[in-house]
């Protein structure tokens, strides 16, 4: 039910005019109807789509392009730049990043 809940929240937020922009971090084409609904009921809300690595979301990208919405794809360097250092000390505890993380 995650997709349904995301779609309902997107449409509800747009209908109640509770935001200026909606950022969807997903590559799920099933959320396209929610974005189309937002465009119909609240055309002034900016829509942005952030696609995960390797997302196959041609329909989402085509929709964004056709409606002049911005979208971007998360790349490995985005994730690498967003990680904590190899070790983080909080109080008396040292946390070490697992070696398999980039």
> Domain containing 60: what range?
2-96
CATH classification at residue 79: 3.40.50
Does residue 102 sit within a domain? Answer: no
Q: For 43-49, what is the mean pLDDT?
A: 93
Does residue 51 sit within a domain? Answer: yes
pLDDT tens profile 72-101: 999 989 988 888 888 999 999 999 988 887
Strand pairing class (93-96; 87-90): antiparallel
Helix axes 2-15, 32-41, angle to 10 degrees: 10
Name the residue with higher pLDDT: 9 or 55. Answer: 9
DSSP 30: G
Q: Is residue 61 within 8 Å of 72, Cβ to Cβ? A: no
Give the largest Cα separation in the chain, rounded: 54
pLDDT of residue 102: 62
Q: In the chain, how many domains are there?
A: 1
Q: Is residue 31 within 8 Å of 5, Cβ to Cβ? A: no
Q: Which residues pair with 72 in a beta bridge?
A: 50
Does residue 101 sit within a domain? Answer: no
């Amino acid at each position: 039910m995650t997709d349904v809940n995301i779609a309902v929240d997107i449409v509800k937020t747009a209908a109640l005019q509770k935001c200026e922009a909606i950022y969807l971090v997903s590559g799920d084409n099933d959320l396209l109807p929610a974005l189309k609904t937002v465009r119909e009921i609240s055309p002034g809300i900016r829509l942005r789509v952030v696609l995960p690595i390797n997302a196959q979301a041609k329909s989402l990208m085509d929709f964004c392009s056709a409606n002049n919405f911005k979208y971007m794809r998360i790349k490995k360097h985005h994730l690498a730049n967003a990680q904590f250092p190899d070790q983080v000390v909080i109080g008396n505890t040292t946390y070490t990043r697992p070696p398999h993380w980039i």
